């Protein structure tokens, strides 16, 4: 079974480390705020000017004036700070974010990412994605492994306009966790019940499959 959006968020939250400053991109990445372990302290940053995001609000906690970069209502963790987007991007461009989690349309085995534009289609725009991929050394992409038509999104070479070049080292899809090294995808984990054969069939880029590929644990 392919991972649900919530399972993707749970698995990516396992990549968090105590003390990390983390930027969670729009979509699936933002859900990871709900799965931070109780014994771990991380500081979530939003490029519209928040440092110290909390979990998503319950219905009685919603404040329409308090939103993240994706215009979703959020809560603040104790000690949170609010500031201008200019200061937020100074933090991002200055390399002060330890981990960035982003969505993507395509990733290729050279570590290139296409995430902001599909020619001829109306989408939200690039937001802070270009700054985030340029300013962070540790980036994880969360995405579906293939399109709704079954076409691979893990490619030999991206076909869409690039957000960043040679900047992605780890990809979490609804089928697998993969690293990118030396121009190849390396299969590290597979979603529970998903076969290696299915992952191979839906990966267009060069793929290395170790002798043992464990299932993800939640």
To the query of whether residue 157 is one of the catalytic residues in this protein, the response is: no
**Which one of 6, 41, 47, 215 is the catalytic residue?**
47
Dig out the tokens for 139 from the structure. Answer: 């980036």
For residue 13, which phi and psi values (nearest 5 degrees)? -65, -20
For residue 142, which phi and psi values (nearest 5 degrees)? -115, 135
What are the beta bridge partners of residue 62? Answer: none
Query: What element of type H or E holds 133?
Result: helix 129-135
Report DSSP letters for 20-78, one per residue: -EEEE-TTHHHHGGGG--TT---EEEETTTEEEE-SPPPGGG--TT-B-TTS-B--EEE
Sheet strand arrangement including 106-108: 113-114, 106-108, 154-155
Q: Which of 24, 27, 12 is nearest to 53 (CA)?
A: 24
Residues tagged active-site? 47
């Amino acid at each position: 079974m392919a991972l649900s959006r919530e399972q993707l968020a749970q698995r990516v939250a396992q990549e968090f480390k105590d003390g990390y400053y983390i930027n969670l991109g729009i979509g699936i990445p933002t859900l990871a705020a709900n799965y931070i372990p109780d014994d771990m302290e991380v500081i979530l940053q939003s490029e519209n000017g928040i440092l110290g995001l909390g979990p998503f609000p319950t219905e009685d906690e919603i404040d329409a004036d308090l939103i993240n970069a994706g215009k979703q209502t959020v809560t603040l963790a104790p000690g949170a700070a609010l500031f201008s987007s200019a200061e937020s991007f100074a933090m991002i461009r200055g390399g002060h974010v330890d981990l960035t989690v982003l969505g993507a349309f395509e990733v290729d085995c050279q570590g290139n990412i296409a995430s902001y534009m599909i020619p001829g289609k109306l989408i939200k725009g690039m937001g802070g994605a270009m700054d985030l991929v340029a300013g962070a050394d540790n980036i994880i992409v969360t995405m579906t492994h293939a399109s709704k038509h079954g076409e691979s999104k893990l490619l030999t070479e991206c076909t869409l306009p690039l957000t960043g070049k040679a900047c992605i080292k780890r990809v979490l899809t609804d089928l697998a966790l993969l690293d990118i090294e030396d121009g190849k995808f390396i299969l590290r984990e597979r979603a529970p019940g998903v076969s290696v054969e299915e992952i191979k069939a839906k990966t267009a880029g060069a793929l290395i499959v170790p002798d043992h590929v464990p299932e993800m644990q939640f």
